[in-house]
Amino acid sequence: MMYVNTRMAVLAGIAFGVFFTLSCATSDKVQTPASSNAVSESYNEQLLYLNQRIRSNPMNEELRVQKAELLFEYAHSIPDPEDRKRVYQDLRVTADDSRSLQNAKLKIDEIVKRAWNSEQNSSIRLLQEDRSETYDIHFYKIIAHLNNAITIIPDSLVTYSLKSTTLYRRGHLNESISTLVEANRIARGTKPEIREKLAFLYLESGYASDAISIYEELTNQYQDRETYIHGLINALILNKQHDDAVLILRNLSEQYPARTRYRESLATELFYIFSSQANILYDNPQARNASEDDINEALNILEEARLLFTSLDSQIPSNEENIYRMGTFYMKASHIIHQLSELDIGNELADELTNKSNEYMQKSLSYWERLAEMSSDNMEYMYILHSIYLELGMNEEADSIERTFNF
């Protein structure tokens, strides 16, 4: 069942990339008169009287409008928003029961909008005023106001989204997820922005498989939305589906050759796969006698990563970050290749791997020397450079660093 359409820009936000960044509308002043037993009894007596008259004359539209207005006033006489829910439930039922009465429907819909605006804007005002010393008190009031807004207009997706965001900020991930699941059910899966937020929350909560399912649906339905494909790649990587991530990144790199971030991500993933395969061969006693094919398969992956990193090195600015990345790549690759050379693979292949390890370390050296020149007071660079000199048998250079920095 669809309810009154709401178009207010009323979301308040938190910052996380593209997800959960929302805007706030100016809130209306909400009247909250003091409540007392006498006031409550008075409203209940009036409602009892109206209900009796409506039962006697169910087609009387003015009586239904009077009841809706009275319920709205009654709710606002209750200072604690958590205590208003039953009144708003009655307002919702009154609105639903008046669907067939056209004049009453229009007027009651306006009352429902006013009630929804009041609760929604009250939550936004508290979010805007939220401070650390009042955070706990505000949080529960904010959620109460949002629950009231949902009671009033149960298919208000903007309210569900704001409630999910508020719960997320508080660290209630499962409740935040449940809220968006319900919003997605109401929207019948037609709102991609809700599904994207839900996928993000699944990923944040460790449910990577659920996130992957949503991102795959989104990328199939909206192939021009890059954020969805990026979300899918991140989810695959976090779920350790690196081969699947590589397939997508390879396609993106070919489709958009000028976008270096795709090639950089692809190279990083390929190096991770190479490192993982090498570790399996080295750490598993049953694989200590790895075949030449096993070694070559791993080296082919490394070579693809190297070519990508090399192409990036020639295209992007030669700043400290990029030089560090290249030096680290060659150094780590050298160490892994050296480990592979220690496997039971025969002298000839072991010698080839030893030479390749030295070759990679030599390439690494040039980058670390450049880094040391750029930041001569960076001790991390000096320690690494010192260790590389020792590995390459450049003892005089290593001694010079030791004397200079009192290693």
> Phi and psi at residue 132, in whole multiples of 5°?
-60, -35
* pTM tops 0.85, yes or no: no
How much is the pLDDT for 323? Answer: 95
How much is the pLDDT for 284? Answer: 72
Task: Say which residue the tokens 């944040």 belong to.
Answer: 204
How much is the pLDDT for 2? Answer: 44
Query: What are the boundaries of each domain within the chain?
Result: 37-238, 244-405
Choose among 256, 255, 253, 283: nearest CA to 268. 253
**Structure tokens given for 119:** 């609760």
How much is the pLDDT for 291? Answer: 82
CATH of 37-238, one of 3.90.550.10, 3.40.190.10, 1.10.490.10, 1.25.40.10: 1.25.40.10
**What is the fold of 244-405?**
1.25.40
How much is the pLDDT for 315? Answer: 85
pLDDT-flagged residues of the chain (< 50): 1-35
SS3 at position 393: coil
Q: What is the DSSP letter of 27?
A: P
For the chain, how long is the longest CA-to-CA vector? 106
SS3 at position 16: strand
71 with 91: CB under 8 angstroms?
yes
Give yes or no on whether 37-238 and 244-405 have one common fold.
Answer: yes
118 with 10: CB under 8 angstroms?
no
> Phi and psi at residue 16, in whole multiples of 5°?
-150, 90
Instruction: Convert the pLDDT of each residue in 251-310 to its tens digit.
Output: 999 999 999 999 999 999 999 999 999 999 888 756 556 788 999 999 999 999 999 999
111 with 76: CB under 8 angstroms?
no
167 with 143: CB under 8 angstroms?
yes
How much is the pLDDT for 407? Answer: 72
How much is the pLDDT for 364? Answer: 98
How much is the pLDDT for 13? Answer: 32
